[in-house]
Amino acid sequence: NVGYRDLLDSIDDIITNNEYNIWNSYKTMIYFCHHILMGLSFLHNRKMCHLDIKPENIMVDVNKKQFRIIDFELTSIEPFNDYVLKFKGTPGYFPKYFEYDVITKYLPKIEANDTVLIDGELPMIKDRKLVYKIDSFCLGRLLFYLKNIYKDHKIIYCWNTEKKNEKMLDEMITDLTNNDVFTRITINECLKKYFSLI
């Protein structure tokens, strides 16, 4: 048992029960992001890409405030031959808009160009390293979802202490969900930029 519940359950606690067991500040979300970035960096440095980062695939240990990435079913190894020829991912998180995507204020329409043909070819086929940026995008969407649900439901009593952390979180989300796969930040670049690591 790697955790008490999955991340989606902890988000549902905010919505349905007004419970903030773990998500009690933007600082906690930054700590969470750092933890997940480190896990993804571990994979990427070993030439593996998870490719399905979403709330259901992260376990949360509420007591220890620890997080674990799970479900490696879509994980691919560089040069990602199995993946680039038949890419797949979770709608709403994967950087492609599907006609049946449910669009909400927490998961707005995706305009990313990861799966747009350029000179008759997908960017990730021309440059296999762009596959790593799918993890960036998925994590950014997850953070956007978590942050905005928290913001809409939490009553904040001392806003000034949260402003700096919210700004940092928003900047990370913007970098990770950049619609242009060529300029989107990688996991390691995110660690270096925001946590002075790598």
Per-residue pLDDT, 65:
83
Closest CA to 132 of 95, 173, 102: 95
- Give me the mean pLDDT over the 84-93 stretch: 89
How large a percentage of the chain has pLDDT more than 70?
A: 94
Q: For residues 179 and 169, what is the distance between their CA atoms, to the nearest angstrom?
A: 17
Cβ-based neighbour number of residue 34 at 10 Å = 17
119-175 tens-digit pLDDT: 899 999 999 999 999 999 999 999 999 999 999 987 666 656 788 899 999 999 999
Q: For residues 145 and 169, what is the distance between their CA atoms, to the nearest angstrom?
A: 12
| Residue 197 reports pLDDT greater than 70 | no
Q: How wide is the angle at C-alpha 146 spanned by C-alphas 59 and 44, nearest 5°?
A: 55
Alpha-helical runs (H) found in the chain? 7-17, 26-44, 81-84, 123-126, 132-153, 160-176, 187-195
pLDDT band at 4 (very low <50, low <70, confident <90, very high): confident
How large a percentage of the chain has pLDDT more than 90?
A: 70
Query: How would you list the strands of the sheet with 58-61, edge to edge?
Result: 5-6, 58-61, 66-69
Which residues neighbour 162 within 8 Å (Cβ) at sequence distance 6 or greater? 25, 26, 27, 156
Sign of the torsion formed by the C-alpha atoms of 99, 105, 111 and 112: negative
Per-residue pLDDT, 156:
65
Per-residue pLDDT, 133:
98
41-51 tens-digit pLDDT: 999 999 999 99
Mean residue pLDDT of the chain comes to: 91
Per-residue pLDDT, 87:
86
Q: For residues 51 and 53, what is the distance between their CA atoms, to the nearest angstrom?
A: 6
pTM: 0.93
**Residue matched to tokens 């890409």:** 49
49-74 tens-digit pLDDT: 999 999 999 999 878 888 999 999 99
